[in-house]
Structure 1
Amino acid sequence: MGAAAAAAGADPPPSEAAATPAREDQQHYVAAATGGVSGESCDAAAPPAGGGGADDAVEPVVIDASAVAGGAGEEEQGECGFCLFMKGGGCKDEFVAWEKCVEEAEAAGPSVDVVELCQDATAALRKCMDAHAAYYEPILRAERAMAADLESFQTEEAASHSAASALASEEGQR
């Protein structure tokens, strides 16, 4: 097993600050970090997909485990990779506000609509991510792909449903 495979399944980076990863490493890190993470508030769906321009400056990802472990107390030690990535860019404050809103909505119980309650926080995060699209591009790209897949699935389902209805109608006439 290679070093990349070991790193993908590892917990937070060592206590010293991690080196700034290359753009390809950021994309791999986000893909590895967002798959299979469970039990944390970061598992809630990311904000809806939107556009992103290539004109924005690239902001490096610096993951400092000491900030997570000994910071101001707002971050948990075993924080998910997705959360670390989101907080590593220019939208940390917006992400923390969105995360807090989701946590409060979930704590309020199943009768609370998280999407409706956190609409403003989600919109602020979305706007910020679009403004920092170069950094958040892996997330934005994944969201666009998921939206396209969902639309394709819904189109196929509608076609399948109407074909089944037509077949049932034909059989009923026999």
Structure 2
Amino acid sequence: MWLLESTPTATANLVREAQSCDIAPERRVFAPRLPLDQHLARHRLADLFLDTLPCNAHTTASDALWAGLPVLTCRGEAFAGRVATSLLHAIGLPRLVTASLDEYEDQAKTLAARPDLLADIRRQLAENRLSHPLFDIGRFTANLEEAYGEMWRRWCEGQAVEAFAVGG
């Protein structure tokens, strides 16, 4: 279990909870904050990123996917619990989105026991990283420029400027 070491209080609480669940000390790793390049590099050492509920990982899940680390999530009810679901769909890995905590647990156990499946997901993630919308900066930039152009055109014509969805 690899956890962020943020504050002494949070670390102490996590240690206490891990002990109450009989998680051996050698299975707990507390990682301090690091510069971005080192943070991304250590993601490559992990096998699977287990997302949380009710609030999913946001930037951290994006970092993991960029580094090639598969993310397993359970679709939540509110926006904060659905971010990783959106990220996984945008990278072409909806099979890593589960609909219930039971399904999440089953999938985590399956992936832990089947390194061949995990390797297949890693290969797919590597292939999709630069071809799917999640990290396609060129597509994002073109869509954003198009939205700005449309807003400018409407403003010049005296039309109301409504919200635009960027992407697609």
Name the TM-score, length of structure 2 as normaliser: 0.26
Query: More helix by proportion, 1 or 2?
Result: 1
Q: Relative contact order, CA 8 A, sep 6+: which one is greater?
A: 1
Name the TM-score, length of structure 1 as normaliser: 0.25
